Chains A and B, each alone.
Chain A
Amino acid sequence: MGGVILLIILAVIVLYGIGAYNGLVNLKNQTLNAFKQIDVQLKRRHDLIPNLVNAVKGAMDFEKSTLEAVIQARNQAVSAGANAGPDAMKQMAAAENQLTAALSRFNVVVEQYPQLKATGNVGQLQEELTSTENRISFARQAYNDTATQYNIKQQQFPTNMFAGIAKASPAELWEITDEGERAVPQVDLSMKPKA
């Protein structure tokens, strides 16, 4: 009788373990996927910047330093992003944050020249840039939410006992460290089309 009860308890533990293991593996893959999504959007931004810079280059001879800062930050971000994963993110995040800051300064400058927005496809490119910035931040948000869920699962009892077996390690969150970065939404407000 006692043996049967012991067997049942063992079976329950094994079944729970399988569930916990699968849950962790599932979350791990979701986290990786969410990270890939940020990557896709960052790539989109990197591809967009040369177009934007070309479109305004002629009209913005007098703001050369701003343009150069954007190009430089972009190139740095591209090289930093070449070999990064969810565990080696600090470097990449720093480079991308710098690019964001440079872009927001660039946007402020563009806002000062309304005729620039009217010429050619600058306005359209700016909408693309706004959208890309939003996509990046939403992709980060989705990544952070998923990664937090993954991290919580790894730390909570009793799932934490299976974290080692599932080869789960805490995922790093994409954090905003720079004060200038925090100010970006205020800059974005000025870019809204006048409704």
Chain B
Amino acid sequence: MTDDTGLNLFQQQEANRRRTVWLVIAFVLFFAWLGFGGDFAYWLATADAGPAAYHHTFPWFGLIMTAIGAGIARYGFATGPNKVLWSTGAVEVVDPQTDKERQLVNVVEEMAIAAGVPRPRIWIVPDPDPNAFATGLDQSHAHIAVTQGLLDLCNRDELQAVVAHELGHVKNLDVRLMTTLAALVGAVALMHDGVGRLLSSGGRIGSRGGRGKGGGVVIIVVLVLWVISWILAPLIAQFLAMAVSRKREYLADAMGAQFTRNPMALASALTKIDAAEAPTTSIKRGAAHLCIADPLGRRANLHEGALADLFATHPPMAARVARLKGMAYQRLKAEGQFPAA
């Protein structure tokens, strides 16, 4: 089994590196489409205008938007972990003061040993709801954040299990993909809000201008397509975030159980986190897919199936707990501590 997971781990890391590259490429291409699409529509609109009028022949928008997209991607990739931590208001634990903080630091160091990764930096989110997330771009620049609520609620074993789950994300480089995604989703949301306002005022100016004769239908089709993609941008980004993270939670649960050799502790931690009904208010939509449990408490997470695959960032808690209990049963049976059923 060890050999098997070792091999899978390498494939996982490679897949995550590759997906991160594709994500960035798709992001830049999307920006290019937004820009060049606008250029095309504008070119069609001005093609029939008189010789004295302005003809849009050079794709300024496209070049500028591509440059902006690449810039945002570069910036988002470089500052992603800090942005995520900043957005949750996390405070780094440098010099642990309370017993609980000391315990957290110890537990993280223990799990870093078990996982064979350098000790990540440790953060606490001042929020009463139990939750935790990991972020970072590689194993040696990783961060683990837990909420104050999790520290208060969980005992040592459960805290250890949650930290092990997060280190699972760190070890198989899930954090790289998910942090980049968070940074880009955030950028799209911002751009959409800002440019959406610009676009609505620009649209009014455009409609006042002269009407095309022959290319009218083409202009409208291109324009409609273009506007739709502007509207859909944040939605697409959200779907991406969701599709990317569901299966990973099961995998990180399994890796966490492998590190602690104690699946029941994680099962009991997840049950406790699930029972604490309140949403984690300090963790917003942009970082939701990074967390161990959905901070927004969305109903879609309760179901399996195609629809849930589209709308949920996390698998149903009951299914996760059931899988962990299955692992615990397997262990007991292997050790002969369980009467053959």
When the two chains form their complex, are residues A135 and B113 in contact, meaning their CB atoms are under 8 A apart? yes
Give the size of the chain B interface in residues (CB under 8 angstroms).
24
Give Cα distance in the complex from A139 to B29, angstroms. Answer: 46
CB distance from B130 to the nearest CB of A (A): 12
Give Cα distance in the complex from A152 to B6, angstroms. Answer: 13
What is the predominant secondary structure among interface residues of chain A facing chain B? Answer: helix
Please name all residues of chain A whose beta carbon is closer than 8 Å to the beta carbon of B157 when the two chains form the complex: 192
Is the interface on chain A under 10, 10 to 19, 20 to 34, or 35 or more residues?
20 to 34
Please name all residues of chain A whose beta carbon is closer than 8 Å to the beta carbon of B115 when the two chains form the complex: 142
Picked from A41, A131, A149, the residue with its CB within 8 Å of the CB of B106 is: A131
Interface: B333 (CB within 8 A): no
Give Cα distance in the complex from A129 to B236, angstroms. Answer: 50
Please name all residues of chain B whose beta carbon is closer than 8 Å to the beta carbon of A195 when the two chains form the complex: 153-155, 158
Q: Which chain B residue shows the least CB distance to A189?
A: B157
Give Cα distance in the complex from A146 to B109, angstroms. Answer: 19
When the two chains form their complex, are residues A131 and B107 in contact, meaning their CB atoms are under 8 A apart? yes
Picked from B99, B116, B156, B259, the residue with its CB within 8 Å of the CB of A34 is: B116
Per-residue contact bits, chain A 136-172, to B (CB 8 Å; 1 contact, 0 not): 0011011001101100100000000000000000000
- B95-124 residues with Cβ-Cβ distance < 8 A to A are 99, 102-103, 106-107, 109-111, 113-116
When the two chains form their complex, are residues A138 and B111 in contact, meaning their CB atoms are under 8 A apart? yes
Interface: A175 (CB within 8 A): no
> Given A127-B103, A131-B106 in contact, is the A149-B156 Cβ separation under 8 Å?
no
Instruction: State the B residues within 8 Å of A (CB).
Output: 2-3, 6, 99, 102-103, 106-107, 109-111, 113-116, 153-158, 160, 259, 261
Instruction: State the A residues within 8 Å of B (CB).
Output: 34, 37, 41, 123-124, 127-128, 130-131, 134-135, 138-139, 141-142, 145-146, 148-149, 152, 192-193, 195
